[in-house]
Amino acid sequence: MSSATLNPLPRTYRVRTYGCQMNVHDSERLSGLLEEAGYTAAADDGDADVVVLNTCAVRENADNRLYGNLGQLRPVKDARPGMQIAVGGCLAQKDRGEIVRRAPWVDVVFGTHNVGSLPTLLERARHNAEAQVEIVESLEVFPSTLPAKRDSAYSGWVSISVGCNNTCTFCIVPALRGTEKDRRPGDILAEVEALVDQGVLEVTLLGQNVNAYGVDFRDRGAFADLLRATGRIEGLERVRFTSPHPREFTDDVIAAMAETPVVCHQLHMPLQSGSDDVLRRMRRGYRQERYLGIIDRVRAAMPDAAITTDIIVGFPGETEAEFQQTLDVVAQARFAGAFTFQYSKRPGTPAAEMDGQLPKDVVQERYLRLTALQEEISWSENRAQVGRRVEVLVAAGEGSKDAATGRRSGRARDGRLVHFVAAEGGRPGDVRPGDVVETVVTDAKPHFLVADGPLVSHRRTRAGNASESGIRPTTPGVGLGMPRIGVPEPLPVLAAGC
C-alpha cells in the first residue's frame, strides 16, 4: 500500500461570500468549521474540492448571479471527480429545493439558521451520493459560538444579535434571518476578550438592527451599556458597530460613543428616504425630523464624527417632490459617504406588490442626481480633513499597497480610507498590515484621503507580527449557544484599557 493511500491529502475548500457583513461573519465560521473537520484552504490559484457559495437575497439580480456562478462551476466539477458544491445563506433559505432543481450538480443546500451543519451535510452527501437540502426555520446556535478562520489578524466581527423585528416593506431579511435573538452580554465580551488576546485591535459589533440589542431581555439601555463595557477591555483600541436603526437610536448610545475613548466616532445611519410619505410606505418607523435630530445630537457630542448612510431611490410611488426631499436631507446632513441603491423588486416583500412601480429610466435619472450631489458633499467633507493628523490602522489584502507610489492604505478612526506613504525619516518604513501609524492628510478625493508626507509615528503591533507570518488566525467557538430569555447577568466591570 502506498504512502499516499496511508496519508491521503486533506480535501481543500474555498468559500465565496456575497452580501452584507453578517455574511462575511458567517463565512469566517464556515471556514473555521471546515478546518476543524480536517479541510484545508485551497491555494489562491488552485481548484478546490469543496466550493461554498454564501449567498445574499437582498441585492438586485441575486438569483441570476447565483445560477451564473453555478453554471461556471459545472464543467469544473465534471472535470474533478469528488468535487462538491454547497450553497448557503439568505438565497438558500429563500429558494430551498429550487436550487437543486435548477442546478442538480449542487451537493448541499443549507440555510441561515444551520451554518454549523455544513461539514455533516457534505459527508452525508458523499456517503449517500445524493444532494442534501437542510433548511431549518429557527436559529440552532449563534454563529459566533462556532469556530472561525478569520481573514484579518487585526480586525474582527462580533455578532451581538441575529434576526430583525422590523417590517420594512422593501426588505426580505426578517423572513430569512428570523426575529431578533440577542446574545448574553457575558458571551459577547468573552468573545471580544478572546480576539484581543490574539492581537486583534479593532472589533465591529454586528446586528441586523444592532442598537435594538436588549429587546430579548427588555433592557432599552443594553446597547449603550455594552459599548461602555466593551470599551473597558484592556488592549482593545477601536470599537465600531453596524447597522443601527434611527427608530431605536437613543441619546444614551450617543453618550456612550462620546464618552468611551475606544468607540470610534463613526456612524452608519441608514436614511433610505428623506420623504415622510415614502418613509411611511417603507414602514421605517421614523420621519425626517427625527432623523435629522439624531444627526444634530451626534455632531454636538462628537464634532469630528463621520456619518454615512444608505438611500433607496425610486421606491414605489416616489414623486419628484418626494425625491427632492431626499436631496434636501442629504444636503443638510452632509454625509461623509452614502451607499445609494436603485429600488428593485424583491419577491416576497410587500413593496414588490405596491402600485406605482417606477420606470427604470426615471429611477436611473434620479439616482444620477443623488450620486452627483453626494459625490460633491463627500469631496468637500474630505477636503476639510487636509492638514489634519490621523491615526491609521494599516490594511491588508489586494489594493492595500501601491508599488508605483509607495503608498499603503488603511482606515482612520472615523472610518475614512487613507492612502499614505509608508516612509519614516525619509526612508522606506517597515509598515505591516495591523500596525498603527500617524500621518498628516495632504490631499483629498471624494472616496479617500491622501497623506504623502513622512509618517509622524509608526507603532508595531502583535497583529502586525501575525500578518507578517502570513497565517490566517483561527478562533475557537465562544459562548454557550442559544440566548437565554429573561434578565441577563450584569455586565462585568473590566479593567480600564486605553
Task: At 146, list the grid cell.
Answer: 462556532
Q: What is the CATH number of the domain that holds 457?
A: 2.40.50
Q: What is the pLDDT of residue 57?
A: 76
Q: What is the CATH number of the domain that holds 54?
A: 3.40.50.12160
Task: State pLDDT tens for residues 412-470.
Answer: 999 999 999 987 665 556 899 999 999 999 999 999 999 999 999 999 999 888 877 76
Q: Are residues 413 and 378 in the same domain?
A: no
Beta strand 161-162 pairing with 407-412 = unpaired
Q: Are residues 224 and 293 in the same domain?
A: yes
Q: For residue 267, tell me if it sits in a domain.
A: yes
Q: For residue 483, tell me if it sits in a domain.
A: no
Q: Are residues 208 and 276 in the same domain?
A: yes
> Rg of the Cα trace of the chain?
23
Between the alpha carbon of residue 203 and those of residues 51, 159, 431, 466, 478, the distances in Å are 28, 10, 21, 17, 15
Q: Are residues 172 and 287 in the same domain?
A: yes
Amino acid at 274: G
Q: What is the mean pLDDT of residues 386-395?
A: 97
Question: Bigger pLDDT: 357 or 471?
Answer: 357
Q: Which helix (H) or strand (E) holds 338?
A: strand 337-342
CA 197 to CA 173: how far, in whole Å? 33
Highest-scoring range by mean pLDDT, 144-158, 253-267, 396-410: 253-267
Which residues have a Cβ under 8 Å from the Cβ of 292 and sit 6 or more positions away? 329, 332, 333
CA 355 to CA 341: how far, in whole Å? 20
Q: For residue 489, tell me if it sits in a domain.
A: no
Q: For residue 481, tell me if it sits in a domain.
A: no
Q: Are residues 73 and 186 in the same domain?
A: no
State what percent of residues in the chain have pLDDT above 90: 63
For CA atoms 130, 136, 139, 140, the dihedral sign is negative
| Residue at which a domain ends, from 383, 399, 415 | 383
| Residue at which a domain ends, from 115, 134, 153 | 134
Total-model pTM: 0.82
Contact by Cβ (8 Å): 470, 152:
no
Task: At 166, list the grid cell.
Answer: 422590523
Helix (H/G/I), strand (E/B), else coil: 493: coil
Q: What is the CATH number of the domain that holds 216?
A: 3.80.30.20
Q: Are residues 346 and 423 in the same domain?
A: no
Task: State pLDDT tens for residues 21-79.
Answer: 777 888 888 888 999 899 999 988 778 999 999 888 776 667 778 889 899 999 999 99
Q: What is the pLDDT of residue 343?
A: 94
Task: State pLDDT tens for residues 140-194.
Answer: 667 667 777 777 889 988 989 988 899 999 988 777 778 888 999 999 999 999 9
For CA atoms 203, 208, 210, 214, the dihedral sign is negative
Q: Are residues 170 and 217 in the same domain?
A: yes
| Residue at which a domain ends, from 77, 101, 134 | 134
Q: Domain range spanning residue 404?
A: 389-475
Angle among Cα 152, 153, 159 to the nearest 5 degrees reads 60
Task: At 422, list the grid cell.
Answer: 509608508
Q: For residue 324, tell me if it sits in a domain.
A: yes
Q: For residue 181, tell me if it sits in a domain.
A: yes
Question: Bigger pLDDT: 90 or 322?
Answer: 322
CA 260 to chain centre: 22
Q: What is the pLDDT of residue 55?
A: 86
Q: Are residues 178 and 119 in the same domain?
A: no
Q: Are residues 330 and 234 in the same domain?
A: yes
Highest-scoring range by mean pLDDT, 297-311, 343-357, 419-433: 297-311
Tell me how many domains the chain contains: 3
Residue 498 has pLDDT above 60, yes or no: no
CA 475 to CA 356: how far, in whole Å? 49
Q: Are residues 369 and 453 in the same domain?
A: no
Residue 123 has pLDDT above 90, yes or no: yes
Q: Are residues 190 and 245 in the same domain?
A: yes
Q: For residue 480, tell me if it sits in a domain.
A: no
Q: For residue 147, which of 35, 72, 290, 49 has the smallest C-alpha distance?
A: 35
Q: For residue 486, tell me if it sits in a domain.
A: no
Q: What is the mean pLDDT of residues 347-361?
A: 93
Residue carrying C-alpha cell 502586525: 464
Question: Bigger pLDDT: 453 or 398?
Answer: 453
Residue 488 has pLDDT above 50, yes or no: no
Q: Are residues 371 and 353 in the same domain?
A: yes
Of 132-146, 280-294, 375-389, the one with minimum mean pLDDT is 132-146
